[in-house]
Amino acid sequence: MKLIIGIIGKPSSGKSTFLNASCLTNAKVSELPFTTITPNKGIAYVKTNCMCQKLNLEDNPQNSLCIEGNRFIPINLLDVAGLVPDAHKGKGLGNKFLNDLSTADILLHILDITGSLDKSGNLVMEGENDPYEDVIFLEEEINLWFKEIIEREDWNKFIKSFSREKREFIDELHKRLSGIKVNKKEILLALKETNLEETNPNEWNEKDLYHFSKKLREISKPIIIIANKIDKEIGRENLKKLKEKYSGPIIPCSALAEYYLRKYHEDKLIKYLPGSSSFEILQPDKFSVGELEALNNIKSKILDRYKDTGVQKTLNYSIFEIANQICVYPVSDLNSFSDNNGNVLPDVMLVKKGTLLRDFVREKIHTDLANHFMFGINAITKKRLGENYELQHNDIIKVVTSK
């Protein structure tokens, strides 16, 4: 199952621009709030050092791309409509829009760091809106969405008749929450971390239910704060202020700058590798004076200051730090590191840290093969690996089956 990253934020914060910059899609973008109504989807790529470099091999990637020794691995992005305060009560079609996020594993909160949009995405004076308030209100909306889903369908009646059988309680919670991709493990962890594990839900008050919903949301759909529109000078000041109030990680970003860099690269006007801190202008005569100045600003005001536009950094941070994924390369031939067709290092799979070889075979390769699994072999060390081997980042593995 590929991971899905949902893009959230109030109207006009730059969600569709972030999607387009990440995926080179053509989702409609405009200054007007609620430009997006039905979700836009795209394929983006996380970037990692390819093992072809280390092994000095020429590879033939099949499920991913390799550019100058960087492996780009596909992930799914989902850009939804803007959310406004009280969305969980249905405001601004909030419930429908929230439900569009059901399949997301991680949420990127695209924040308008210029503070020039009110909570509904209408233009106000620069700096008039406090981005910190947006951080708070949006998180609250998502937490309350979880709470509503739990409370739906006679919650009070259910807990009143509750027979203290813990499994039954977990099953019921899971039934209510499976539609938004919450599993039992996450439910158990949330109960534990809120110290509600040993309590009788019969005795839960509103606060308990809220804390549980919030914790479960944090575990099952973590939110990452992206300070977008950092290309504007006021954005820099606001970012500083936001950091004083909010201690979690914030990634400075200019989705618009990234979009232009990728587009120009695609048109062969510049050379730019996503996530890098520089670009090279290949055809200066194809740009107007204004465009050259804009490119210069991207360099001096974004890349030189923040090291990149923030888009690739966000994707990598989401997958490798928040979703705790590592890279594993399955191969068939131990000497050439290739598949049955001679493709060298053909595929890279993203798997969760801690995954055991047997689960990897079942989930990522083939259920059928899993039934005939014998052992694995580390292609570099040629060491045999049992089914309980815990996969490590950048493992190159051959799976041996009896079939």
Ligand X SMILES: Nc1nc2c(ncn2[C@@H]2O[C@H](COP(=O)(O)OP(=O)(O)OP(=O)(O)O)[C@@H](O)[C@H]2O)c(=O)[nH]1
Q: How far is the CB of 79 from Mg ion (least distance, A)?
A: 6
| By CB under 6 A, residue 11 contacts ligand X | yes
Q: Which amino acid is at 103?
A: T
Q: Please, which residues have CB within 8 angstroms of residue 18's CB and are 6 or more apart in sequence? A: 7, 79, 108, 110, 226, 228, 253, 255, 311
**Pick 121 or 274: Cβ nearer ligand X:** 121
* From 23-31, 136-144, 219-227, 339-347, span contacting ligand X (CB under 6 A): 23-31
94 contributes a contact to ligand X by CB under 6 A: no
Choice between 81 and 173, CB closer to Mg ion: 81
- How crowded is residue 179: how many other Cβ atoms within 10 Å of its Cβ? 11
* Of 111, 113, 112, 115, residue with least CA distance to 127: 115
**Contacting ligand X (CB under 6 A), which of 25, 35, 99, 276?**
35
| Minimum separation from the CB atom of position 10 to ligand X (A) | 7
208-247 footprint of ligand X as x/- string (CB under 6 A) = --------------------xx-xx---------------
Residue-wise DSSP of 247-294: -S-EEEE-HHHHHHHHHHHHTTSEE--TT-S--EES-GGGS-HHHHHH
For 11, phi then psi, to 5°, come to -55, 145
Distance, CA of 318 to CA of 391 (rounded, Å) = 20
Nearest CB to ligand X, comparing residues 11 and 201: 11
Q: How far is CA 119 from CA 109, 228, 241, 246, 294, in A?
A: 14, 15, 19, 19, 29
Residues in region 13-72 near Mg ion by CB under 5 A = 15-16, 35-36
Q: Which does 231 bind (CB under 5 to 8 A by kind): Mg ion, ligand X, none?
A: ligand X
- The least distance separating ligand X from the CB of residue 297, rounded to whole angstroms, comes to 11
Contacts to ligand X from residues 48-77, by CB under 6 A: none
Stretch that binds ligand X, among 85-93, 150-158, 248-256, 311-319 (CB under 6 A): 248-256
CB-based contact 259:294 (threshold 8 Å) = no
| Pairing, β 40-49 against β 70-79 | antiparallel
Question: How many Cβ atoms are within 10 Å of 124's Cβ, its own excluded?
Answer: 12
SS3 letters across 14-32: CHHHHHHHHHCCCCCCCCC
Binding segment for ligand X (CB under 6 A), chosen from 7-15, 101-109, 124-132, 298-306, is: 7-15
Q: In the complex with ligand X, which residue's Cβ is closer, 34 or 132?
A: 34
Nearest CA among 190, 220, 215 for reference residue 4: 220
Per CB under 6 A, the list member of 5, 8, 12, 180 interacting with ligand X is 12
Q: Side-chain half-sphere of 175: how many Cα atoms within 13 Å? A: 11
Q: Based on the shown chain and the rule CB under 6 A, indicate whether residue 33 belongs to the binding site for ligand X.
A: yes
Which tokens is 217 given?
């949301």
- Indicate whether 311 belongs to the interface with ligand X (CB under 6 A): no
User: Which of ligand X, Mg ion, none sits in contact with 168, Cβ below 5 to 8 A by type?
Assistant: none
| Shortest distance (Å) from residue 154 CB to Mg ion | 36
Residues from 107 through 146 that contact ligand X (CB under 6 A): 121
Are 5 and 106 spatial neighbours (Cβ–Cβ below 8 Å)? Answer: yes
- The entry of ligand X, Mg ion, none that residue 12 binds, CB within 5 to 8 Å by partner kind: ligand X
Q: How many residues bind ligand X (CB under 6 A)?
A: 25
Closer to ligand X by CB, 14 or 376: give it: 14
Applying CB under 6 A, the residues found at the interface with ligand X are 9, 11-17, 29-31, 33-36, 81-82, 121, 228-229, 231-232, 254-256
Applying CB under 5 A, the residues found at the interface with Mg ion are 15-16, 35-36
